[in-house]
Amino acid sequence: MDVIDFNALREAHAAQAIQNTMMNVPLRVTDLIKRAELIFPNRKIISRIGPNQTETLTYRELAHQAKSIAGGLKALNIPSGTRVATLMWSHAAHLACYYAIPAVDAILHPLNLRLTPEELAYIIADAGDSILIVDEDLIPLLKKIEQLVKIPTIIVNGQHADYPLTLQQLKNAEPLEDWPSGAFDENAAVGICYTSGTTGRPKGVVYSHRSTVLHALSCSLQSGFGFSSNDTLLTLTPLFHVNAWGIPYSGTMLGINQILPGARINMTEVLDLAVQHQATAILGVPTFWTEILDLLETQPERWHFDYRMRIHSGGSQATDDMFYRFEKLNMSLQNGWGMTECSPIASQTWLQQEHFQLPEAEQFEIKTSNGLPIPLVDMRIMGHDGTAQAWDGESCGELQVRSAWITQNYLSWEQTISACSEDGWLLTGDIATIRPDGYIRIVDRMKDLIKSGGEWISSVDMENRLCSHHQISEAAVIAIPDAKWGERPMVVLVSQSGLSEKDVKSYLAQFYEKWMLPESIVITGSLPKTSTGKLDKKLLRVQYQPSTVA
């Protein structure tokens, strides 16, 4: 054996640049279903296809269906980058499209079927959609859209005389032999979602293969949703809105049993499905939780879980009362925060080991926050003067974020529409505080804050307080113009139990200074919602202008 001069060898190597030895394997969305097909072939996707009716596919069957749809799309000779829109409910065929479309290098564009025909026509036109896959029962909506914009190719999931091409025909096509592999630009577009358009026209956010896979990985960690292949998820967040919080990707990657609610489900059916299929977690928005809690509390003998159910909430802030009520039922409610621009998840709430030693009230303060940024998401809060605010739990400012799965621009065809600050942070429009340990709390939307006499009043905080009253089921707080103070708060709430305006003011007076109390209170039977289930404050501000209230 030759004698080696280690000193000389070290000196020679130290003078050279070191080379990366890692494989250059691109991140590709279809690799997620490929994994499920190989490792979890018998795990299930359960689709509700009607009242008390379900249909079950295994991941092996789902993958075959997706490959067949991809083969059918390929036979249409669509160019690379073709936008393929879906106007579909949450079911297995829609989930298959999530993988069939990118498998032929096309771009998935789920359409929010709760939008108006005019809004949908604008979104279709802006995205440049060339193909639309539509559920048969949504053709009346499609007909209204087609009065405004024509889509060259319509594929019906079902049958209709006016549209001869069906999804079943695509399923009967020669399937792809295998999922795509080899050299590939992981930054290529894979999907488009549009913002809700509460402050103007909806804006398109374009996701890449890379951003989508990284988002799925981070969300799947214990410090994200904390899911595993042992879970069964009932996903009420629809496949037609912000990619159902990424569950079509993360859930499939992990081989999770998925329960998809189909069309027009009610909360009684939700609980029936959860019990029947032993769901370990339900994902949805606070609008659902109010009715689910009422059902569980009034009919405790009908639904019973022998384990601690997890409730994952987003879209808008869950009220403190919801946390208490779920806890009494041995269910854990977990908050988070995100937006379409964030793919959409950016934070999740969970207690750290040291928190279990804290008093219950301090633990509750953390549980009701909007959590910690999930791994690889950076956050900061910026004041009105453009300076970074302290992480002290009190200083507030606009929440700004950045990550590999957060957009920097909106879809545009002429000049760039930036979503960010000059130094590259997403401008969220949310006002927040951040504790020293990193937990964020959304105080309000910038456009919903009420500035009265130069002082700020949080609409979110007052709404949360109102919804903690046992006689109030929903509440919205909006600003109304005032000649003296600039703006004053107005409350619009839902109560079915004879609550009076005086009762509400007396209740709020326990928690707020006199100058913060609402100028007027309206008690009504229901509150308007946006297409994503949030309170439609834009509409409320129009409905309750001072002249209207008077």
Rounded mean pLDDT of 268-274?
98
pLDDT over threshold 80, residue 47: yes
Average pLDDT, the chain: 94
pLDDT over threshold 90, residue 200: no
How far apart are alpha carbons 63 and 57 in whole angstroms?
10
pLDDT over threshold 90, residue 90: yes
Question: Annotated catalytic, 116?
Answer: no
Per cent of the chain over pLDDT 70 is 98
52 exposed, middle or buried (CB, 10 Å; 0-12, 13-18, 19+)? Answer: exposed
Q: What angle do CA 102, 408, 396 make, to 5 degrees?
A: 130
pLDDT over threshold 70, residue 101: yes
What was the pLDDT predicted at 547?
60
Rounded mean pLDDT of 317-336?
94
How far apart are alpha carbons 414 and 172 in whole angstroms?
40
pLDDT over threshold 60, residue 550: no
Per cent of the chain over pLDDT 90 is 81
What was the pLDDT predicted at 544?
86
What was the pLDDT predicted at 453?
78
- Strand residues in 42-130 grouped as ranges (E): 44-50, 53-58, 83-87, 107-110
What secondary structure letter does DSSP report for 473?
S
Rounded mean pLDDT of 393-412?
96
**Confidence category of residue 198, pLDDT binned at 50, 70, 90:** low
Rounded mean pLDDT of 220-236?
96
What was the pLDDT predicted at 151?
98
pTM of the entire structure?
0.89
- Domain spans, the chain: 29-284, 448-544
What was the pLDDT predicted at 457?
87
Amino acid at 459: S
Q: What angle do CA 355, 361, 367 make, to 5 degrees?
A: 60
109 is written with which tokens?
């564009």
pLDDT digits 0-9 by tens, 366-399 = 999 999 999 999 999 999 889 999 999 999 999 9
Rounded mean pLDDT of 90-95?
98
Rounded mean pLDDT of 409-432?
95
183 is written with which tokens?
């050299």
Sequence-ordered list of residues with C-beta below 8 angstroms from that of 509, at least 6 positions apart, any chain: 517
Catalytic residue, chosen from 37, 119, 186, 341, is 341
Per mean pLDDT, which range of 260-274, 453-467, 497-511 is the poorest? 453-467
pLDDT over threshold 70, residue 548: no
pLDDT over threshold 90, residue 442: yes
How far apart are alpha carbons 321 and 319 in whole angstroms?
5
Catalytic residue, chosen from 116, 143, 451, 548, is 451
Rounded mean pLDDT of 13-23?
96
Residue with tokens 């080696």: 4
What was the pLDDT predicted at 533?
74
Quote the distance between the C-alpha of residue 228 and its chain's center: 19
pLDDT over threshold 80, residue 55: yes
The fourth-level CATH superfamily of domain 29-284 is ANL, N-terminal domain (3.40.50.12780)
Per mean pLDDT, which range of 205-219, 236-250, 258-272, 523-537 is the poorest? 523-537
Backbone phi and psi for residue 128, each to the nearest 5 degrees, phi listed first: 75, 40
The two counts, helices (H) then strands (E), for the chain are 17, 27
Catalytic residue, chosen from 136, 144, 456, 529, is 456
Domain 448-544 has CATH 3.30.360.10: no
What was the pLDDT predicted at 312?
97
pLDDT digits 0-9 by tens, 446-492 = 888 888 877 778 888 898 889 889 899 889 999 888 888 888 999 99
Rounded mean pLDDT of 409-427?
95
pLDDT digits 0-9 by tens, 105-159 = 999 999 999 999 999 999 999 999 999 999 999 999 999 999 999 999 999 999 9
Question: Annotated catalytic, 416?
Answer: no
Question: Annotated catalytic, 195?
Answer: yes
Question: Annotated catalytic, 89?
Answer: no
Torsional sign, CA 120, 207, 407, 125: negative
